[in-house]
Amino acid sequence: MDVVSTRGEKEEGSEIPSAGELVREARAAARILLETTGSQRKEALSAIADALEAREKEILAANRRDLERATGITEAFRDRLTLTPERVKKMAAGVRTVAGLTDPVGEIVSGWTLPNGLRIEQVRVPIGVVAVIYESRPNVTADAAALTLKSGNAIILRGGKEAFSSNAAIADVIAEALDGRGLPAAAVSFVRTTDRSFVDDLLSLEGELDVVIPRGGEGLIRRVVERSRVPVIYHGAGICHTYIDADADLEKAERIVVNAKCSRPGVCNAMETLLVHRAIAEKFLPRLEKVLEGVELRGCERSRAFLSSAKPATEEDWAAEYLSKILAVRVVESVEEAVDHIERYGSHLADAIVTESISAAERFTRSVDSAAVYVNASTRFTDGGEFGLGAEIGISTQKLHARGPMGPRELTTTKYVVRGDGQVRD
Amino acid sequence: MDVVSTRGEKEEGSEIPSAGELVREARAAARILLETTGSQRKEALSAIADALEAREKEILAANRRDLERATGITEAFRDRLTLTPERVKKMAAGVRTVAGLTDPVGEIVSGWTLPNGLRIEQVRVPIGVVAVIYESRPNVTADAAALTLKSGNAIILRGGKEAFSSNAAIADVIAEALDGRGLPAAAVSFVRTTDRSFVDDLLSLEGELDVVIPRGGEGLIRRVVERSRVPVIYHGAGICHTYIDADADLEKAERIVVNAKCSRPGVCNAMETLLVHRAIAEKFLPRLEKVLEGVELRGCERSRAFLSSAKPATEEDWAAEYLSKILAVRVVESVEEAVDHIERYGSHLADAIVTESISAAERFTRSVDSAAVYVNASTRFTDGGEFGLGAEIGISTQKLHARGPMGPRELTTTKYVVRGDGQVRD
């Protein structure tokens, strides 16, 4: 135990590999993972889950060191940083869930035979080396490692400095469990320095590091996107809308709005702006105001005629990701005006329409260009677990490579395998 | 005609929109394209092909102005820049080919129903606004515009300064043909300035411009990758290998090597390095040398024992993209050593094994991490047309989003459309 925690905490000295060295070691590990079967990776994940439970005390001891060092942090931050026996068990259970997911590697995505007899298969393969740069929650260490290993990738983990000891301890347990299964420990590499220049070096390794996934607040994401030459997949802001159409069933509308705003206001898939068709505003808004207890309303002029408690909304409100019990409300003339508002102010994560009209629903789903578009359901379903993916490494709000909740499949790429019998090109 | 060419050549002045303005106009056009059907886009492409033929004279006149301005360029460059009546017809034919391809938009990539009754569909949709930055060939203007329009995207075209008038004339013809079909001319925007700072501005528009595709030499690609905050998809170098296994059919091996090296040495999918298993080197290499007439051979020490004309290969030769009639040759001990060589020196575009052994073929296809991996066929097939995609906007050597030849499908993304009946999250 002492050995592990000492290793976990070494921050300086000649033994810390450079970003280039770390990526090269990870790439060598990724090449070995290419030779593994799905069963081997599944068994390794089960071994990791067992090891996390068996070595709970070490992990909690490391976590206590982090908590002792952490002063002047908010209670919410301290809560995110804290591990308990239950949280370690939940972490292990999460790894077991990932172990049981469908293996994406080797899926034949498409295939055909050319007139000359060449057989083309587009096969799903691991991306290679994935770096995850994250903030305070130590459980990300286990979650991210499990998802990347499941899909045959090596991972470089760069956690926040507040959780340094906890992350290092978890990463050590994982690496040693891999080693115990005959797999390369370098498949899960934890960055043992909190020096920012290390991250800059990492982000410059285009062609060596395959992808960077920043997980955390807007500041972290901006920093990574602005500096990286390596492709980045990120989970951006969530300015989600619910539009109540003239043809909405108001009972469904009420239920969906309350769920989207109130069930967990601090998450990215919670609603921030409500759009209401002019024709039903008078009927719906007063009814809604009664059930949105404790929610601060900020409305446009027309909506305020029907909302006794709403303050005037400003231009900033339409673009705000409140992440709290505040709701912007706007009355619109039509589904087109609702779409225009969403395209102008939204973050393209998740947006919903409540309507019984097929043509309004079709118009909305065709024109709203978001990762997830809902008809008569809450935007809160935008989540890998809820979608049935089993787990997620994030929700991509980007359009390239992956869009929406990202599971093991989104941590793969494809290659073409072409089989012939001596064919040459004319 | 005069009007068109004047517009085509205005380079300076207050009328040139900024990069931000151009992208906003293109985005508005992309939103209109979202409302079009596949038939409408197909008919628009046919109209563009007709217009290119009908206005051949204007295009050739603009091309003559480019050729007159172009001094001190190589013959090869002048050839790439030159348009002829036949080349304009070929350009129109290329647009018609794209018009006839399968429409990727609206494909339901996957779909399922959750236990709570929510129906999830992952639907293929246009990416949005695509910028293509390219060099001297004016036909790229029509090719790239056709492929992006087919898949429902707006395109911003930034061509090389040598082809400025030709590109502008072609883009004008396309934009006017779109307008004639009731579609927004801004769906195909040609950048009417050759100022480099315009490109820098374009590359900073992350979140507004969806993707940048550089098409051209290594210098152009490096510049774009290093400066861009917008995601980039590029067509990198092609250091392609052919490995002749101990169990190769030497007749097939000879045919494949000659085709991969000699059929068109200047292209990315041509072979640059030949790897030969030690067990058949003595038999194969002298036989091969006879048929590789006019090819300069650069060999490792062991290969030179069987190649009378080969010069010694240096470390640089293994990493060289010759794009000419030069071939590096290395004798290896095993399929594993061949894979190691390819992973170390290759560019991961296309690599081939020639073997009759199933286990060698399996080992090679599993371990070589390239966009296309061949068994008993020439790497020269790595091409959208040869693959049966109908056309390509490039061959991605990257792993994210698209890998290998990119057709209309690779110019799309997906979104989730989730349909319910009032479901809310617990």
- Tell whether A136 and A180 lie within a shared domain: yes
Separation CA A264–CA A261 (nearest Å): 7
Reported as a single tens digit per residue, the pLDDT across A411-425 is: 999 999 999 999 999
From A57's Cα to the closest Cα of chain B, the distance in A is 33
From A50's Cα to the closest Cα of chain B, the distance in A is 30
Report yes or no on B127 lying in a domain: yes
**Phi-psi category of B226—alpha, beta or left, where left has phi over 0 and alpha has psi -120 to 50?**
alpha
Separation CA A327–CA A292 (nearest Å): 10
Judged by CB atoms closer than 8 Å, whether chains meet at B399 and A211 is answered as: yes
Separation CA B127–CA B147 (nearest Å): 12
Reported as a single tens digit per residue, the pLDDT across A357-413 is: 999 999 999 999 999 999 999 999 999 989 988 888 889 988 999 999 999 999 999
Q: What is the CATH number of the domain that holds B296?
A: 3.40.309.10
Report yes or no on B361 lying in a domain: yes
A268-282 as b/e: b if 16+ CB within 10 A: bbbbbbbbbbeebbe
Residues shown for chain A:
426
- Tell whether B34 and B106 lie within a shared domain: yes
Return the structure tokens found at A315.
């231009």
Separation CA B155–CA B163 (nearest Å): 18
Any residues with CB less than 8 A from the CB of B267 and at least 6 apart, and which?
B238, B323, B380
B79 by Cβ neighbours in 10 Å (0-12 / 13-18 / 19+) ranks as exposed
What was the pLDDT predicted at B67?
96
From A372's Cα to the closest Cα of chain B, the distance in A is 5
Separation CA B162–CA B152 (nearest Å): 29
% of chain A beyond a pLDDT of 70:
97
Report yes or no on B395 lying in a domain: no
Judged by CB atoms closer than 8 Å, whether chains meet at B371 and A206 is answered as: no
Report yes or no on A395 lying in a domain: no
- Tell whether B116 and B260 lie within a shared domain: no
What was the pLDDT predicted at B392?
86
| Among A125, A109, A114, residue whose Cα is nearest residue A420 | A114
Distance between the two ends of chain B, CA-based, in angstroms?
A: 65
- Tell whether A220 and A279 lie within a shared domain: no
Q: Which SS3 state, helix, strand or coil, does residue A315 take? A: helix
Number of CB atoms found within 10 A of residue B266's CB: 10
% of chain A beyond a pLDDT of 90:
85
Reported as a single tens digit per residue, the pLDDT across B10-55 is: 444 457 899 999 999 999 999 999 999 999 999 999 999 999 999 9
A294-303 as b/e: b if 16+ CB within 10 A: ebebbbbebb
| Among B157, B400, B90, B120, residue whose Cα is nearest residue A387 | B120
Q: What distance lies between CA B130 and its chain's CA centroid?
A: 14
Measure CB to CB from residue B35 to each of A367, A373, A418 and give the nearest one: A367
Q: Which of residues 204-223 of B touch A (CB under 8 A)?
A: 206, 210-211
- Tell whether A226 and A307 lie within a shared domain: no
Judged by CB atoms closer than 8 Å, whether chains meet at B422 and A249 is answered as: yes
Q: Is A86 on the interface with B (CB under 8 A)?
A: no
Reported as a single tens digit per residue, the pLDDT across A295-305 is: 999 999 999 99
Report yes or no on A9 lying in a domain: yes
Q: Which residues of B touch A422 (CB under 8 A)?
A: 249, 251-252, 255-256, 376-377
From B12's Cα to the closest Cα of chain A, the distance in A is 30
% of chain B beyond a pLDDT of 90:
84
Q: Which of residues 93-152 of B touch A (CB under 8 A)?
A: 112, 114, 118, 120, 122, 125, 127-128
Amino acid identity for residue A9 in this structure: E
Judged by CB atoms closer than 8 Å, whether chains meet at A377 and B259 is answered as: no
Domain total in chain A: 2
Q: Is B160 on the interface with A (CB under 8 A)?
A: no
Return the structure tokens found at A295.
């929610």
What was the pLDDT predicted at A371?
96
Domain with B365, as residue range(s), is 240-385
From A363's Cα to the closest Cα of chain B, the distance in A is 9
Judged by CB atoms closer than 8 Å, whether chains meet at A114 and B374 is answered as: no
Judged by CB atoms closer than 8 Å, whether chains meet at B418 and A120 is answered as: no
Residue A264 has, within 13 A of its CA and on its CB side, a CA count of 13
Residue with tokens 């236990």: B115
Q: Which of residues 23-52 of B touch A (CB under 8 A)?
A: 31, 34-35
B72 by Cβ neighbours in 10 Å (0-12 / 13-18 / 19+) ranks as exposed
- Tell whether A47 and A176 lie within a shared domain: yes
E strand or H helix at A295, and its extent?
Answer: none
- Tell whether B412 and B267 lie within a shared domain: no
Residue A227: closest CA among chain B residues belongs to which residue? B229
What was the pLDDT predicted at B4?
32
- Tell whether A19 and A92 lie within a shared domain: yes
Assess contact for A261 and A271: CB atoms under 8 A: yes
- Tell whether B206 and B249 lie within a shared domain: no
What was the pLDDT predicted at B16?
83
- Tell whether B139 and B58 lie within a shared domain: yes
DSSP A398: S
Max Cα distance, chain B (Å):
79
A241 by Cβ neighbours in 10 Å (0-12 / 13-18 / 19+) ranks as buried
Assess contact for B254 and B378: CB atoms under 8 A: no
Residue B222: closest CA among chain A residues belongs to which residue? A229
Separation CA A62–CA A141 (nearest Å): 14
Reported as a single tens digit per residue, the pLDDT across B310-327 is: 999 999 999 999 999 999
Report yes or no on A196 lying in a domain: yes
- Tell whether A226 and A247 lie within a shared domain: no
Regions of chain B where pLDDT drops below 70 = 1-14
From B353's Cα to the closest Cα of chain A, the distance in A is 10
Q: What is the CATH number of the domain that holds A106?
A: 3.40.605.10
Separation CA A326–CA B203 (nearest Å): 35
Q: Which residues pair with A155 in a beta bridge?
A: A130, A188
Measure CB to CB from residue A425 to each of B31, B380, B413 and give the nearest one: B380
Report yes or no on B245 lying in a domain: yes
What was the pLDDT predicted at A40?
97
Q: Is B248 on the interface with A (CB under 8 A)?
A: no
**Phi-psi category of A412—alpha, beta or left, where left has phi over 0 and alpha has psi -120 to 50?**
beta
- Tell whether A261 and A288 lie within a shared domain: yes
From A247's Cα to the closest Cα of chain B, the distance in A is 14
E strand or H helix at A66, and its extent?
Answer: helix A56-69
What was the pLDDT predicted at B390?
80
Report yes or no on B392 lying in a domain: no
Average pLDDT, chain A: 93
Measure CB to CB from residue B375 to each of A35, A210, A420 and give the nearest one: A420
B96 by Cβ neighbours in 10 Å (0-12 / 13-18 / 19+) ranks as middle
Please determine, for residue A7, whether its predicted confidence score (pLDDT) is greater than 70.
no
Q: Which residues of B touch A259 (CB under 8 A)?
A: 424-425
Please determine, for residue A3, whether its predicted confidence score (pLDDT) is greater than 60.
no
Question: Could you tell me what percentage of chain A is helix, strand and coil, using 3-state DSSP and rounding each to the nearest 5?
Answer: 45, 20, 35
* Three-state DSSP string of chain B: CHHHHHHHHCCCCCCCCCHHHHHHHHHHHHHHHHCCCHHHHHHHHHHHHHHHHHCHHHHHHHHHHHHHHCCCCCHHHHHHHCCCHHHHHHHHHHHHHHHCCCCCCCCEEEEEECCCCCEEEEEEEECCEEEEEECCCCHHHHHHHHHHHHCCCEEEEECCHHHHHHHHHHHHHHHHHHHHCCCCHHHEEECCCCCHHHHHHHHCCECCECEEEEECCHHHHHHHHHHCCCCECCCCCCCEEEEECCCCCHHHHHHHHHHHHHCCCCCCCCEEEEEEEHHHHHHHHHHHHHHCCCCEEEECHHHHCCCCCCEECCHHHHCCCCCCCEEEEEEECCHHHHHHHHHHHCCCCEEEEECCCHHHHHHHHHHCCCCEEEEEECHHHCCHHHHCCCCCCEEECCCCCCCEEECHHHHEEEEEEEEEEEECCC
